[in-house]
């Protein structure tokens, strides 16, 4: 552990495992939420999924799901984002 007086280290995209936030946006339906939960569960072990938050758009048409997780590798994230992005129900995956 570093000295608390040291400046923060720059984010290293190759340092794994690391905590990441994955945000997924789509139409607000029960089907969408279940679909995204299923995709995430195929790529992230239950012990590495720390939380899921939900936020509806102002008019209730869209739902943003944010997953807080521990990523184990760049390949894991690439596979997750690829599957999310390929799904027509997912409007945005960040």
**E-state strands within 1-89:** 18-27, 49-56, 62-71
| Residue 82, domain CATH | 3.30.70.260
pLDDT at res. 10: 53
Say how many domains are in the chain. 1
The pLDDT-based confidence of 34 (bands split at 50, 70, 90) is: very high
Q: What is the pTM of this model?
A: 0.83
> Has residue 4 been placed in a domain?
no
Query: Whole domain around residue 82: which residue ranges?
Result: 18-93
> Has residue 34 been placed in a domain?
yes
N residues, the chain: 94
> Has residue 80 been placed in a domain?
yes
pLDDT in tens, 52-81: 999 999 999 999 999 999 999 999 999 999
């Amino acid at each position: 552990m570093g000295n608390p007086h040291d400046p923060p280290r720059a984010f290293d995209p190759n340092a794994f495992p690391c905590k990441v936030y994955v945000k997924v946006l789509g139409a607000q339906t029960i089907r969408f939420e279940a679909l995204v939960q299923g995709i995430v569960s195929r790529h992230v072990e239950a012990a590495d999924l720390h939380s899921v938050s939900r936020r509806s758009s102002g008019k209730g048409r869209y739902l943003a799901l944010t997953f807080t997780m521990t990523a184990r590798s760049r390949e894991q994230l690439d596979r997750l984002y690829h599957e999310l992005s390929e799904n027509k129900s997912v409007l945005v995956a960040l």
